[in-house]
Structure 1
């Protein structure tokens, strides 16, 4: 297991309005805050990138290119490398934990296969339900990244949590079914938050076989109600209203 102050140093970079020359990891993968993924590093340019990040303990942002290949998508996700190992074939594998949505500013290609960017922290989803006493966060209800860092500042799952109601239980059933079908991915989640709507919705968006463009839409700030409506339609759940 990787042990370092990597996560702490990453979040120090986000205490100012924006950060300069952040390394970008360009992958066609959607991860939202709290998401986890195991990656096999085969490409030499990706191996060089991960080596730089681990050696310098500098921040890493996972980003996407536009489908037409022209430039980068304007939002990315700050990730932490939480573990690394080597396969029998000699390839490096890393576990990444998605922490904070960020806006990409002033991106430039420093080398043929190396992108750098300025970033600023970006709030992501705002639950549609009003905050009540029952939905205020306490330390035992924090999502994974908030609990780990002991701070709600800049949380991309926002500063309030909406809990699963009877109408949304199908979300949980679907997610548990996906986890059962993908045990290697499920084992990355040492803690699960099946009672928290935002956490469950985020994991569904990451794992359901959705078109890339639809997934990208859900990276946008304030897209939560759109996501819920999309999932209700996809899972054939009637609007409770």
Structure 2
């Protein structure tokens, strides 16, 4: 069974985030995942139950934080469907998962006439420039990859958990692309 880490954090493949680890069950999760070279699933909760979809993540860095707690950096690897769950005696969630195919990647060239793709990428560049603390997590951002850009947008937009679950269940970034483009159009008007 795969270890599950329930958080309100939403991360998709290619996304990165920093976590503070202090509960014994999650210290165990980090220790075992690091020792075995395996990832864990970042899952969202609704009340006392886990949502159906999550993201398999890898621990890509760790550090001791100034307050003495463990800090880890995670990177999204693959969307997953959580088929069943159980809890260990220490309350660590475990689950049977099914991996989902990656969204097809949709590159564009800066001089393309596809305004939608260019606008999504350009607007994300502006967000990264305005929030260097967030941008520093991405050594090499892939703004030219519209799927990557849409995934980063979905991670930072203030969406409900139900909306995030709907997007993560999709087979491609097409719905996200339309949604983000519409938001950008409304913001300008």
TM-score (norm: length of structure 2): 0.86
Report if the CA contact (8 A) 1:33-1:157 is conserved. no
Partner SS, residue 45 of structure 2: coil
Residue in structure 2 matched with residue 163 of structure 1 by the alignment: 108
Q: 1:231 aligns with which of 180, 184, 189?
A: 180
Report if the CA contact (8 A) 1:102-1:121 is conserved. yes
Residue in structure 2 matched with residue 205 of structure 1 by the alignment: 154
- CA RMSD in angstroms, aligned pairs only: 1.9
- The alpha carbon displacement at 1:185 in A equals 2.2
Deviations 1:49-83 (A, max 9, x none): 212222333331111112xx142111111111000
Partner SS, residue 88 of structure 2: strand
| Pairing of 1:35-54 with structure 2 (within 5 A) | 35-54=15-34
Query: How many residues are matched?
Result: 182
- The alpha carbon displacement at 1:162 in A equals 4.0
Report if the CA contact (8 A) 2:53-2:169 is conserved. yes
| Pairing of 1:1-241 with structure 2 (within 5 A) | 21-66=1-46, 69-123=47-101, 156-158=102-104, 160-163=105-108, 165-222=114-171, 224-236=173-185
Deviations 1:18-51 (A, max 9, x none): xxx1111111111111111111223333223212
Measured in 2, the distance between the counterparts of 1:75 and 1:59 equals 16
CA spacing shift, 1:189–1:83, aligned 2, 3 Å = same
Structure 2 segments unaligned to the other structure (5+ residues) = none
Report if the CA contact (8 A) 2:25-2:90 is conserved. no
